[in-house]
Amino acid sequence: MSGLSNLNPAIFAKRKRANKLGLLLSTGAMVLGMVFLLWILTILFIKGFSSISLDVFTHSTPAPGSEGGGLANAIVGSLMIVGSCTLLSTPIGVLAGLYLSEYGDRSKVASITRFVTDIMLSAPSIVIGLFVYAIVVAQVRHFSGWAGTIALALIAIPVVVRTTENMLRLVPGSLREAAYALGTPKWKV
């Protein structure tokens, strides 16, 4: 016999009403939240769309208190920091991932590298930012783009290491053996 057939009909009806009330209140809260979100987005697009022009992307930010200006220096600065981060983190990450995949199966250095990579992957970006602030900015005594580059590189390096290692492990062993049979040295496979 099922558990529902033993249930008192009055208790079952009360639970059903409570369920419907909870569903109605949840749906109402969701609709209310969506109305406010759509209202904010509509006002943002209506008032903001008229301000978007080519000048916003091509002019620098003016001095405080003056009219006009744009985002050119912010866009160029972001591209410079991301580009220098990529130039710093990609070679380090690819070489470390290559070492872990090809040469460091059970070595002590490989296990330490994997452990540090796992820790860096799980570290929140604010912790990495505070670390770079304490090590770089506090020592130099001024902010710079290099501090941002170092912080982004510390975030990107473990991702590149793990991705490179996993992708190289996907290469079939038969393909490696075929390359060895053709006389290719291990460092080229």
pLDDT tens sequence across 86-101: 999 999 999 999 999 8
Q: Is the pLDDT of residue 5 over 70?
A: no
Q: What's residue 54's pLDDT?
A: 85
CA distance 112 to 173: 25
| Whether the Cβ atoms of residue 135 and residue 147 lie closer than 8 Å to each other | no
Write down the pLDDT at residue 4.
Answer: 59
Pick 104 or 126 by higher pLDDT: 126
In the chain, the number of structural domains is 2
Q: Determine the pLDDT at residue 1.
A: 47
- Mean pLDDT (the chain, rounded): 90
Same domain, 79 and 161: yes
The reply to whether the predicted model has a pTM over 0.75 is: no
Measured CA angle at 71 (ends 65, 74), to 5 deg: 105
* Segment 2-13 mean pLDDT: 74
> Do 99 and 42 have their domain in common?
no
On whether residue 105 sits in a domain, the answer given is yes
Residue 2 has pLDDT above 60, yes or no: no
CA 106 to chain centre: 30
- As a whole number of angstroms, the distance between CA 75 and CA 137 comes to 23
Does one domain contain both 139 and 103? yes
Domain that holds residue 162: 73-171
Same domain, 88 and 156: yes
* Structure confidence by residue, pLDDT tens digits, 107-144: 899 999 999 999 999 999 999 999 999 999 888 888 88
Q: Is residue 64 in some structural domain?
A: no
Q: Are 99 and 113 in contact (CB under 8 A)?
A: yes
